[in-house]
Structure 1
Amino acid sequence: MNKKVIGFAGSILSSVLWLSVLTAQAQNLVNPKTEAKITALIKKMTLAEKVGMLHANSSFTSAGVKQLGIPELVTSDGPHGVRLEHGRGWTPLKNVNDAGTYLPTGNALAATWNPKLGYDFGAVLGSEAKFRGKDVILGPGINIIRSPLNGRNFEYQSEDPYLIAQMAVGYIKGVQDQGVSASLKHFAANNEEVDRGTVNVEMSERALREIYLPGFEAAVKKGQVNTVMGAYNKFRGQYATENKYLINDILKGEWGFKGLVMSDWGAVHNTMEALENGTDLEMGSDLGTPPLKYSQFFLGDTVITLVKNGKVPITLIDDKVRRILRVMFKTNMIGAKRTVGAYNTKAHQQTALKVAEEGIVLLKNEDNVLPLAKEKIKSIAIIGQNADRENAMGGGSSQVKAKYEITPLHGIKNLLGNGVNVQYAQGYKIARNGQADSALINEAVKIATKADATVIFCGWTHGYDYKKWDDNAYDAEGVDKPDMDMPFGQNELIKAVLKANPNTIIVLMGGGPIDVREWVGKSKAIIEGWYPGMEGGTALAKVIFGEVNPSGKLPMTFPKKLEDSPAHKLGEFPGVNGVVHYKEDIFVGYRYFDTYKVEPQFPFGHGLSYTTFYYENAAIQRTGDKQVTASVTLKNTGKRDGAEVVQFYVEPINPRVSRPRKELKGFQKVFLKAGETKTIKVVLNKDAFSYYDEKKKTWVADNGKYLIAIGNSSKDIQVSKELVL
């Protein structure tokens, strides 16, 4: 594998325990007693030993100082499972215990809209990383989903910075409470893959502050993340990993980050800029001819020479070593015994299942086609290669060797048992430039015509070889999708099967939006299944047959066509001549669709249920200076227990400056039994009403009228209440 292109990126907590997790102050990286120990260690270190800690000494490790009790720092991907074992090189090892828990991908986690699950998700990663001897798990990935075409959207979480912030904080605390460091990535503005190593991102300061940084800021200030990973791309002309403004001025300056900033693998380009502009640890640089000489990294022997020649102060090196040692002390790598961790336990598998169940989104359900009644089904047709395709090893650096993976076909067979005739037809063939195959379509139509129920599993696929466009590289690191069109002739398949059986259920799999205009008007039931992890097939089967009431909500807008996406309508994607201008500015995702009155295919926050909910009694109570508590009463008016995500949007009325129509500023996932009623409250502080004033270089909350709009998506507002600040 060419390292130049590789970027490395229990059960549910009770409400009481979750509140304690959120409010408890995690051990701060800067502790006076610890700082004294670190100072003593640094004084004992030679210059060569210090510099040795600033760069890799194998594919995933950096050097320690054995005689001083400082161990190597061991890192591993990835965001939704500990990556298969590579040892010190790049060739996967054999006969090792590296088949673990494959969690749903980042977009599926975000679709749960459940920060408590974010914590559980992170706890699984932390525990399994610790079991595998890892000190840093390289996640979460929280870059904004700017365009539907980004090949890495499946790893990321949302188009909305507020939702990202809530989910990322839970994830980070879950990892780090296990005594392992999370690595927040990719800082910042890594929103396209194909030219990520060269493209220069240009955006307004307001877009940076309002859209692209809030998730990172929350992860640093509230999540107290131990490490941050720089991005590959340039930002305003300077590489992000050695970017003075992003790292020194904002991350370490304004936000007071005291932890470790590491490069993505091969993202360092200049010794002096990396030294002076905040890079603490260089990983994965591929310099010279093999074998790799780690001392020749940008932060290798050159740094020793610069210090000896008086061109770089030793205090700069000491600061970087101090940051690395802070992380080591906090995670009990030095002078304390680390617990063992656990690997692929039943509890971890149950967390994977729960995230998948809560992340699956019911997009459409006309005539109550869903759920299927198990007792009425004698035969069922399962169609589509995605029904029987494993995904754990796909996507690039986030690949996971799963202990097992239950595909949708297996999940349905397991749920129905031997009493139901389950027939499978491939329907389409995953192949480069694959076209509709009439023989495969005819086979699918044949079994659909005779079955009591039909389900098609279709959509995107992971790429396994992301260094080239092979036969399936759509959702993968290092590539971007060419368009939103459903590949492999799947549209023709779906139309033919819908003609044979209008009640056919369509399940979309993959990393996000896909163009469904050719058949969406004829379909009655559509589910978004994402890449749902090792228990994904079980979760999908339980949703389809009603054993689980779907409660997922879209964490990004699904446009009708690519041209409706703001990055493509107003901005640029990908870059032009090495530069990408974010001309859509702050109007990302639903902020654009709602403000410019563009009808989406499915709006941000959308997701149906097998029960119904009624919103009433919206109220606002002032609780401080430019702070209010908004509340609403929610009743489950259906016959099934279920969960609803109550979403609170702030809408300025006649704003003084250009602002989005509305912005998500609060949400709560509420579980209600049939007939049950609850009052939901969220606190909206000054930040909820603020925008970034570029002239004043600060956040401003203007006086005036605002509408608090409460609903179950950005477009489906159920109740609202006006207030005056």
Structure 2
Amino acid sequence: MKHQTIISQLTLEEKASLMSGKSVWETKDYPEKGIPSIFLSDGPHGIRKQEGAGDHLGLNASVPATCFPTAATLANSWDEALLEEVGTALGAEASQLGVHVVLGPGLNIKRNPMCGRNFEYYSEDPYQAGKMAAAMIRGIQSNGVAACPKHFAANSQELKRMSSDSIVDERTFREIYTTGFEIAVKEGKAKSIMTAYNKINGTYANEDGHLLRDILREEWGFDGFVVSDWGGSNDHVLGVQNGSHLEMPSTGTVGQKEIINAVNFGQLDEVILDERVDELLTVVLELSKTSKKSVNTERQHQLSQKAARNSIVLLKNEDRILPLASKTKVALIGEFAFEPRYQGAGSSFINPTQLDKTVDVIKDYDLDVVGTAKGYERTDVDNQALLTEAIDVAKTADVVLLYLGLDEISESEGLDRRHISLPKNQLRLLDEISKVTNKVIAVLSAGSVIDLNWDDRVKGLVHGYLSGQAGARAMLDVLTGKYNPSGKLSETYPLAIIDVPSSADYPAEGDYSIYREGLYVGYRYFETAKSLVKYPYGFGLSYTDFSYNDLIVEENGVRFTLTNTGSVAGSEVAQLYVGIDTSKLYRASKELKGFAKVYLEPGESKEVFIAFDDKTFRYYNTLTSSFEVEAGTYRIMIGTNVSKITLQGQLYKEGTTANLPELDLPSYAEVDILTVSDAEFARLLGRPVPKENWQKGQELRLNDALSQMAYAKSWLARAVASILRILLNRAEKKGKPDLNLLFLYNMPFRALAKMTGGTINMAMVEGILTIVNGHFFRGLGQTVKAFRQKRQTDKSLVAKKV
């Protein structure tokens, strides 16, 4: 062990206490023994360090910090250098604020567009997500601050997120849901990682030895520490046993006592506890020695603008209505032009150092603004007066800039979306304005996929996603041609949500979330099934044109010539896809395996090289329990998006094993995912598909959500659930998510022992659960007895000064 001298001075009680936090955001310290405390803070697109009492949900104010574009936005830049630059700025700002660990980036796969937290994640593709995350991590950690990629792993819905069990086959798990984390760890050298709330095939992520030991530490060589999501520790002892280091937030003496008892009764070898302490101290001691950096807030703001500008996606430009000519008479319409939607809701909510608003900054651009109007209420309610005013303003302009998007209640931590449509009042405004003018440019603000089947009513469509505090100016830079848009979509926009294979049971409302679609996530499904989409993965227009020529396929990569054939300078994102037609396995027809963002002046040509790496030709073999290469001739495709392949070549690769899994999977082979039976999925899974085992009316369990009290035997519990639902409905009508209520709604009973700062332990939770299940006096007795025992334990530990 690296820190044997320090560890040998620690008592069992002290070592146990190090495995839980000191407070909501700090780790436990023993200064007299050379162990400092470090501070962890939410990110991932800004630093959310709270003033006063801390909480995980952003209920209390945080100190001002730069609000950069969200991950979903930055991914559209496809620019690793830019992500590293933003990461460097984030790391410096964290250092200035006394933050040692930035809880981000988030790189969960966008399995379904309705996940309420997709704005925090990069992509539907693991390779792109991993590359973006690794660049961000390198930047953050260049300042002596640790990054903490999250949520590891297979975390794909917000509903019942703390108890839902992700049932996913091993090949899909390794190729889709862990590959991004693998890149983040191996290439980004992340010093910490956050586990997800959910179970994976029956085991909570924070105590999953296969995930945390076999894959993370032994296979990938991770040498940092593992932290639970806040309240995400289920069995603290199993967590420590299987590779988790830090249970957050503080559970007071509760977690400490669990570890002490486990060691004393032989359930946890003290040698393993020493290993976890040693691994944690390695990072804590390193981070504590870093000197504070200083940042210039104005330069941070300018970088936020640059990042947003490089991430804007031009989706439609009919009759080249964009860029807007000098002195164009424009009407500025839309609530978001007055009060921007620039970030998501939840633990990532940043208190910006400043905030640009389109209505204020448009005066700095060479446009003739003939009128402004809000046009609609921010929440989805009709307002005829606002509608009429907007129509009147639209009639006076040559071009209407119509700012549309999703409101705060549509995208939030703790809440999945119910549909992918814009609010009805916005669609009504669009309909009415399109009747009085055919020159409408829609400017979108949203962190995830929107139904865009209304785009025939606009000539221009520009998507800024959630662009941070400087997004308003960034958008105007693009609209006026000061900057040529270069962003491309990092997720597929389907024609309808029902076209997405996972939508049949999304979000899963029971105990199990069945990943029946397997590898067919996002474009992998749409391209292989030859299913039409609205806008394909990797799509984005420019004010110039590019040509691709002279493809050369080499053993270590591809070369081709990229030329700007237009009249203005611009950047193109060239994308490398690989496929194999002769595979004996079921596979997607195309998989992203590389990309390059290239800047070119008008008429300029450059030779572009995209290297192959260890992930270019691999698949996960469940028989050998390792990644292998299948023998065969691979199609090497270069495209401007996944559906528009401009160059194509071939390369034969030798196989690494002839031992291929032989499974009878006709629905997967024929891409008929909507008809996959339990029997066929079981063959892919390698075991029977679990069945829902909780029915309304039966007793609630420790890992059932508090929302399920609606079916409890206790009338008191049912009343509490009813009140909770009423309060949530009220918050929804106001258009602002109540994060505290959402957390409670999805929280399992056992989390009462994890989120109350040590006030409640698991024995008390079991007593409360007995009350909920209709045995009031018995449960009350259990709870009181457990409380008294806990109080005695606390006094004993206090006496030992630990």
TM-score by length of 2: 0.79
Residue by residue, what CA displacement relative to the aligned partner does 1:622-665 show, whole Å, maximum 9, x if unpaired?
2xxxxx32111010011100000010111212222111011110
Q: Check whether the contact 1:687–1:701 (CA below 8 A) recurs between aligned residues.
A: no
Query: Structure 2 CA distance, aligned partners of 1:681 and 1:312?
Result: 52
Aligned partner (choices 300, 304, 308) of residue 356 of structure 1: 308
Query: Structure 2 CA distance, aligned partners of 1:97 and 1:441?
Result: 36
Q: Check whether the contact 1:360–1:552 (CA below 8 A) recurs between aligned residues.
A: yes
Query: Structure 2 CA distance, aligned partners of 1:502 and 1:395?
Result: 35
Higher helix proportion (structure 1 or 2): 2
Structure 1 runs not aligned, ≥5 long: 1-34, 286-292, 463-472, 623-627
In structure 2, the partner of 1:28 is none
1:303 Cα deviation after fit? 1.5
In structure 1, the partner of 2:349 is 399
1:488 Cα deviation after fit? 4.2
Q: Check whether the contact 1:392–1:402 (CA below 8 A) recurs between aligned residues.
A: no
Query: Structure 2 CA distance, aligned partners of 1:715 and 1:440?
Result: 41
Q: Which moved more, 1:689-698 or 1:174-183?
A: 689-698
Residue by residue, what CA displacement relative to the aligned partner does 1:129-156 show, whole Å, maximum 9, x if unpaired?
1111111010000000111101110010
1:91 Cα deviation after fit? 10
Q: Check whether the contact 1:81–1:125 (CA below 8 A) recurs between aligned residues.
A: yes
Pair 487,558 (structure 1): closer, same or farther in 2 beyond 3 Å = same
1:515 Cα deviation after fit? 1.2
- What's the RMSD between the two structures over aligned residues? 2.0
* 1:113 to 2:69 alignment: no
In structure 1, the partner of 2:686 is none
Residue by residue, what CA displacement relative to the aligned partner does 1:318-361 show, whole Å, maximum 9, x if unpaired?
11111211112332x1xx4x222124533322221111011000
In structure 1, the partner of 2:580 is 652
Aligned partner (choices 441, 444, 448) of residue 390 of structure 2: 444
In structure 2, the partner of 1:720 is 648
1:140-159 equivalences under 5 Å are: 140-159=105-124
Secondary structure class of the residue paired with 1:539: helix
Pair 95,183 (structure 1): closer, same or farther in 2 beyond 3 Å = closer
Query: Structure 2 CA distance, aligned partners of 1:187 and 1:581?
Result: 18
Query: Structure 2 CA distance, aligned partners of 1:93 and 1:229?
Result: 18
Secondary structure class of the residue paired with 1:49: helix
Pair 720,393 (structure 1): closer, same or farther in 2 beyond 3 Å = closer
* 1:478 to 2:414 alignment: yes
Query: Structure 1 CA distance, aligned partners of 2:234 and 2:445?
Result: 37
In structure 1, the partner of 2:425 is 489
In structure 2, the partner of 1:308 is 264
In structure 1, the partner of 2:324 is 372
In structure 2, the partner of 1:238 is 203
Secondary structure class of the residue paired with 1:222: helix
One-letter amino acid of the counterpart of residue 328, structure 1: V
1:577 Cα deviation after fit? 2.0
* 1:218 to 2:170 alignment: no
Query: Structure 2 CA distance, aligned partners of 1:680 and 1:399?
Result: 39
Q: Check whether the contact 2:165–2:512 (CA below 8 A) recurs between aligned residues.
A: yes
Aligned partner (choices 614, 627, 630) of residue 702 of structure 1: 630
Aligned partner (choices 513, 516, 535) of residue 452 of structure 2: 516
In structure 1, the partner of 2:523 is 590
Query: Structure 2 CA distance, aligned partners of 1:408 and 1:218?
Result: 38
* 1:577 to 2:528 alignment: no
1:497 Cα deviation after fit? 1.2
Residue by residue, what CA displacement relative to the aligned partner does 1:454-484 show, whole Å, maximum 9, x if unpaired?
111111123xxxxxxxxxx111100011111
1:689 Cα deviation after fit? 1.5
Pair 414,563 (structure 1): closer, same or farther in 2 beyond 3 Å = same
One-letter amino acid of the counterpart of residue 547, structure 1: K
Pair 498,251 (structure 1): closer, same or farther in 2 beyond 3 Å = same
Residue by residue, what CA displacement relative to the aligned partner does 1:216-271 show, whole Å, maximum 9, x if unpaired?
11111121100010101111111111122211221123223221000000001213
In structure 2, the partner of 1:559 is 494
1:716 Cα deviation after fit? 1.1
Pair 707,393 (structure 1): closer, same or farther in 2 beyond 3 Å = closer
1:84 Cα deviation after fit? 4.2
Query: Structure 2 CA distance, aligned partners of 1:311 and 1:576?
Result: 34
1:159 Cα deviation after fit? 0.3
Structure 2 runs not aligned, ≥5 long: 654-802
* 1:186 to 2:151 alignment: yes
1:274 Cα deviation after fit? 1.7
Q: Check whether the contact 2:444–2:464 (CA below 8 A) recurs between aligned residues.
A: yes
Secondary structure class of the residue paired with 1:140: coil
Percent sequence identity over aligned pairs: 37
One-letter amino acid of the counterpart of residue 497, structure 1: I
One-letter amino acid of the counterpart of residue 252, structure 2: Y
Query: Structure 1 CA distance, aligned partners of 2:343 and 2:526?
Result: 35
One-letter amino acid of the counterpart of residue 620, structure 2: Y
* 1:257 to 2:257 alignment: no
Pair 488,404 (structure 1): closer, same or farther in 2 beyond 3 Å = farther
One-letter amino acid of the counterpart of residue 669, structure 1: K
Query: Structure 1 CA distance, aligned partners of 2:238 and 2:511?
Result: 21
Secondary structure class of the residue paired with 2:410: coil
In structure 2, the partner of 1:386 is 336
Aligned partner (choices 410, 425, 437) of residue 373 of structure 2: 425
Q: Check whether the contact 1:99–1:401 (CA below 8 A) recurs between aligned residues.
A: yes
TM-score by length of 1: 0.87
In structure 1, the partner of 2:599 is 671
Query: Structure 2 CA distance, aligned partners of 1:97 and 1:489?
Result: 33
Pair 352,642 (structure 1): closer, same or farther in 2 beyond 3 Å = same
One-letter amino acid of the counterpart of residue 495, structure 2: K
1:277-288 equivalences under 5 Å are: 277-284=242-249
* 1:49 to 2:1 alignment: no
Q: Check whether the contact 1:562–1:568 (CA below 8 A) recurs between aligned residues.
A: yes
1:686 Cα deviation after fit? 5.1
Pair 341,650 (structure 1): closer, same or farther in 2 beyond 3 Å = same
Q: Check whether the contact 1:152–1:475 (CA below 8 A) recurs between aligned residues.
A: yes
Residue by residue, what CA displacement relative to the aligned partner does 1:590-637 show, whole Å, maximum 9, x if unpaired?
001100011111100000000110111111122xxxxx3211101001
Figure out how many residues of one structure are paired with residues of the other and give that number: 653
Whichever of the two has the greater Rg, that structure is: 2
In structure 1, the partner of 2:688 is none
In structure 1, the partner of 2:774 is none
Q: Which moved more, 1:386-395 or 1:481-490?
A: 386-395
Query: Structure 1 CA distance, aligned partners of 2:402 and 2:59?
Result: 36
